[in-house]
Amino acid sequence: MTVTSPFALEIGLGVLVLLVFLATLFARGDDRRAIGWLATIGVLVVLAGSFLVAPASTVPPALGGMFVLDGLAIFAKRLFLIATFIGLLAGLSSTDPVFARRSGEYHLLVLTSLLGMCVLASARDLILLFLAFELMSIPLYVLSGFVKRDAIAVEAALKFFLVGSVSSAVMAYGLSFVYGAAGTTSLAGVAKAFAAGSPLLVLGLLAAFAGFAFKIAAFPFHMWVPDTYEAASTPFVAWLSVAPKAAGFVALFRVYYEGAGERVVAWIPIAAGLATITMLAGNLMALPQQNTKRLLAYSGIAQIGYMLVGFAAASASGTAMVLFYLVAYVFGNMGAFLVVDAVARFEGSESTAAFRGLAQRSPLLALSMLLFLLSLGGIPFVAGFWAKLYVFWAAAAAGLYWLVLVGAILTVVALFYYLVIAKRMYIEAPERAARIRVAPTLAIALLLCVLGVVVLGVYPKPLVMAALRVATPLF
Amino acid sequence: MVADAVRFPLLSVITWSPFIGALLIMSLARHRPLLVRLIAVVTTGISTVLSLWIYVAYDTEAAGFQFYEKLSLVPPLGISYELGVDGMSLLMVLLTSIIIFTGVFASWTVQTRSQEFYALLLALVTGVYGVFCSLDLFVLFLFYELAVLPMYLLIGIWGSSGEVRPRGIFAWAFRETGVGTKEYAAMKLTLYLLFGSAFILVGIFALYVNAGAASFSFLDLEAITFEFGVQRWVFLAFYVGFGILAGIWPLHTWSPDGHASAPTAVSMLHAGVLMKLGAYGVVRVGMGLLPEGAVDLAWLVGGIACINVVYGALSAMAQVDLKYVIAYSSVSHMGLVMLGAATLTEAGLNGSVFQMFAHGVMTGLFFALVGLVYEKAHSREIFKMGGFGAAMPGIATAFTIGGLSSLGLPATAGFVAEVLTFMGAWRSDHRWWLWPAVLGTLLTAVYVLRVVRQIFWGPPSPHFHDLVDARGPEWVAIVVLVFTLVLFGMAPGLALVPVDTATVPLLARIVSP
């Protein structure tokens, strides 16, 4: 059985959102965590359903070319679904009474945001793109301040919301220029106008770029990241740190590659510059962090910088390598956050000191953290190594040797702060001997991340090939 | 070649045997320290016996890369698992085997978490073998990383912090870094070496992209003549990248800290083999693939090597911590290695490779002995110790022989290496290189003899009682290393014949590109 409707996954998700909504209406009592199971399993079903969709080439564009289900879209959607599944699964075992009572709201918001991401991945029209972007973003603001009696969470959410709204406004402003110059909102039309070379169009796209840079948390649009990550609940942050970033990159590909047509090389200097300062700033600011979530927040900014290196290559291989990087990042970064969650739940502290002697207390947990850190650091035989390597490779093939050198040297800086955590876990002696208990669902989520990091590290080829296949039609 | 391909994969067995040992140790030998050591001895023993075997079986008439194996890994990108040894790598493989085999015995007394210690040590050795055997640059890089990374945990967990702390302005400047502690040394070493690997990676990519042949194979790339501009900067990248591991001044500072803080076997392996890995990389990859770049930048390589020789020796003279003396002597001797290579003459290059071997064995011996002395006396401070010769005659004798080789006494391996290097320097385009090299040897005599006299043959120190000589498995390391040192000093042809078959074609490419 194959599904040929381009909207199949969105319809599926929409149904799931309604189901969760209904379940919330009829749920009773203070413990409504069962709704979480409904959402999690639902996401898994939609993920399985994504493999029934007919091959990308046979699904016709819908809404007059506004909405496409090409290889890139389906690749990205599967990525969002996997990330969401892991994030929701890890959150199921949360013992926080707020989450138990308001489980319906929480999952409804996550799923709505996911729906926004999925639409975004298919959008080939500026208006639809912007709408999808907002559908994705607004639930995120609410989710960051989910624990509304916690002043810090509310502050972080407000910061996120204000900066996010301003960047959305700048993006809309920029896109209005684009419309003015191109006379159309379809990306194919924009590409035609771009080839003609209109300064107004370039100005508009640059302004819009700021909006995208905010969403993927590139420097200097990153300032919401550390505070939001620190204040929000960890399984949500694990998801927030990967899924919307991936969506942002897909949107970047759509607008700046598909919307630029032949003259795509025009973006290379800007993207390379942004990559450089993002890697530099993220890595340097991560150095003094003592709180693991803040540390991972800054390291995440640096990771975005590395992906921008691939984006700067402005080639099919560069795009494919960013897609591969995103997958590796989903597993590595979510995994690291989930270990932080496991340790923090038990120790009541998110500081790096809580990791002292973890290798002797819970060897498996320590080993998985080490794997995630090595993956983020780009060390051979885990996924992150290939990710960095491929991204650098694409940049080198585009002649950006200096960018490769800067990136490669900064990975050494990054390894310093990753190794600091490794040192806490492996070299320092534990303060307490108690083994850290990990809730079963969290353990499964962690296991999935470990599997992802290791399997991709040992055998990256199929995914690389798949990424190359979906990236090639963009150019 | 075809006949070789279907033969028993000797090089793969040599390379992976320790790694399998590491896996066995992790899975079978929990809380069974004797079994851990047994597995380590057997698996490194297999590698050692086989590397002796290939050393004997290597056909010096045919020369070139032998015991060739190839397995395609990622065909579209031209990555393959391709192994082969020529005369130069042959000697390095032998060196690695000798050092790890003796290192396993030298660390017999490791008590804490010995299971993990041996597993990491063996995994690291697989990386070292892999670098020396690999003919595919990409796989070489993977092995290189494997050889570097376990070092962090090995030093961080099992290392020792020095007793001597910086004073005065240095203490102030380094107040927050924890300089002198094992954690500091581990972090510094790892970051320096990974910093180097960044340059190597860029260099490898540049070759791959510029060659346009979709192959990482050394043999394919060797056939391509790169543009002069590319050769220059890529050679520089390889020189910096591999050179950091070889301890080139001023990027050598990780080495004294790292070697002084590391546990015995790790110091042996690191100073004895891993630093050679850097020099080997510069010669094999840098000079082998980029001959014009090498000629153009020989003045830089040689000039910095001269600084290394003298600066390392002077620094060694100033140390009061025994391990730091040995560590700085490595910096000085690695200078001689690089100097010999930079001369681009047959004698110099042979001397360089021979020095890699001689210094590897010698410094392995030194660190093994220092480890034993430390274990028995619990001190590394030279001027606290004295008159140990009476209590530990075996260790004292071995140390003295090592010292004599270090300063280049005839009939030791060190002598052959130094004479060849001097000859090479004299015949090179930069004749003045001879003088720093000779000066370095003189300074070496000063600091080595000073240490030997103070610790072993001077008046007894009142601080120590009940010292004992080496015993049991510890003798294995001492005897094997001293024997090798003297054997190759008496019969240098054992090494020089195969080495010559590798260096002559290399030079032929450089002289007539």
| CA distances, B264 to each of A392, B158, B394 (Å) | 37, 9, 18
Residue A393 and residue B205: Cβ atoms within 8 Å?
yes
Average pLDDT over residues B388-398: 84
pLDDT value at position A262? 72
- CA A154, chain centre distance (Å): 22
Q: How far apart are the C-alpha atoms of A151 and A153, rounded to whole Å? A: 5
Question: Measured in Å, how far apart are chain A's first and last C-alpha atoms?
Answer: 31
Within a domain: A403: yes
Residue B191 and residue A415: Cβ atoms within 8 Å?
yes
Kindly report the number of other CB atoms within 10 A of residue B60's CB atom.
14
* pLDDT tens by residue, A226-279: 888 888 888 899 999 999 999 999 998 888 888 777 777 778 888 899 999 999
Residue B183 and residue A405: Cβ atoms within 8 Å?
no
Within a domain: A16: no
Q: What is the mean pLDDT of chain B?
A: 85
Kindly report the number of other CB atoms within 10 A of residue B483's CB atom.
12
Q: How far apart are the C-alpha atoms of B342 and A100, rounded to whole Å? A: 70
pLDDT value at position B1? 41
pLDDT value at position B178? 67
pLDDT value at position B3? 46
Interface test with B, best of A392, A412, A416, A428 (most B CBs within 10 A): A412
* pLDDT tens by residue, B177-188: 666 678 888 888
Per-residue pLDDT at A116 exceeds 90: yes
Per-residue pLDDT at B166 exceeds 50: yes
| Nearest in space to B181 (alpha carbons), one of B270, B272, B262 | B262
Within a domain: A430: yes
> Which chain A residues contact residue B205 at CB under 8 A?
392-393, 396, 401, 404
Q: Which residue has the higher pLDDT, A433 or A156?
A: A156
8 Å CB contact between A86 and A35: no
Report the residue from A393, A409, A419 with minimal CB separation from B187.
A419
* pLDDT tens by residue, A354-409: 888 888 888 889 899 999 999 998 888 888 888 888 898 888 888 888 888 888 88
Within a domain: A56: no
pLDDT value at position A57? 64
pLDDT value at position B162? 67
Instruction: Count how many domains chain A has.
Output: 1
Q: What is the mean pLDDT of chain A?
A: 87
Average pLDDT over residues B246-256: 86
| Shortest alpha-carbon distance between residue B266 and chain A (Å) | 16
Instruction: Provide the phi-psi class of B113: left if phi over 0, else alpha when psi is between -120 and 50, else beta.
Output: left
Q: Can you name the residues that pair with A351 across neighbouring β-strands?
A: A291
- CA A222, chain centre distance (Å): 14
pLDDT value at position B4? 47
pLDDT value at position A445? 92
Confidence band of A67 (pLDDT split at 50, 70, 90): confident
Percent of chain A surpassing pLDDT 90: 27
Task: Say which residues have a Cβ less than 8 Å from residue A463's Cβ, sequence separation at least 6.
Answer: A324, A327, A456
> Which chain B residues contact residue A423 at CB under 8 A?
156, 183, 186-187
Per-residue pLDDT at B220 exceeds 90: no
Residue A409 and residue B198: Cβ atoms within 8 Å?
yes
CB pairs under 8 A between A and B: 60
Of B170-174, B272-276, B363-367, the range with the lowest mean pLDDT is: B170-174
Task: Say which residues have a Cβ less than 8 Å from residue A46's Cβ, sequence separation at least 6.
Answer: A9, A12, A13, A16, A81
Residue B198 and residue A412: Cβ atoms within 8 Å?
yes
Percent of chain B surpassing pLDDT 70: 94
Within a domain: A108: no
Instruction: Number of helices (H) and strands (E) in chain A: give both, helices first.
Output: 21, 0
* pLDDT tens by residue, B125-148: 999 999 999 988 888 988 888 888
Per-residue pLDDT at B2 exceeds 50: no
Per-residue pLDDT at A140 exceeds 70: yes
> Which chain B residues contact residue A379 at CB under 8 A?
145, 149
pLDDT value at position B5? 45
Amino acid at B20: I
8 Å CB contact between A282 and A305: yes
* SS3 of residue A92 by DSSP: coil
Within a domain: A134: no
| Shortest alpha-carbon distance between residue B34 and chain A (Å) | 22
Per-residue pLDDT at B342 exceeds 80: yes
Residue B194 and residue A412: Cβ atoms within 8 Å?
yes
Average pLDDT over residues A282-311: 90
> Which chain A residues contact residue B201 at CB under 8 A?
389, 392, 404, 408
Interface pTM (ipTM) of the complex?
0.71
| Shortest alpha-carbon distance between residue A409 and chain B (Å) | 6
pLDDT value at position B375? 81
* pLDDT tens by residue, B229-245: 888 888 999 999 999 98
| Shortest alpha-carbon distance between residue A390 and chain B (Å) | 11
* pLDDT tens by residue, A173-197: 999 988 888 888 888 888 888 877 7
Confidence band of A460 (pLDDT split at 50, 70, 90): confident
Interface test with B, best of A317, A401, A413 (most B CBs within 10 A): A401
Q: How far apart are the C-alpha atoms of B297 and B282, rounded to whole Å? A: 12
Instruction: Provide the phi-psi class of A217: left if phi over 0, else alpha when psi is between -120 and 50, else beta.
Output: left
Q: Can you name the residues that pair with A123 across neighbouring β-strands?
A: A67
Within a domain: A260: no
Q: How far apart are the C-alpha atoms of B67 and B133, rounded to whole Å? A: 10
Per-residue pLDDT at B512 exceeds 70: no
Which residues constitute the domain of residue A326?
265-475
Within a domain: A24: no
pLDDT value at position A375? 92
* SS3 of residue B501 by DSSP: helix
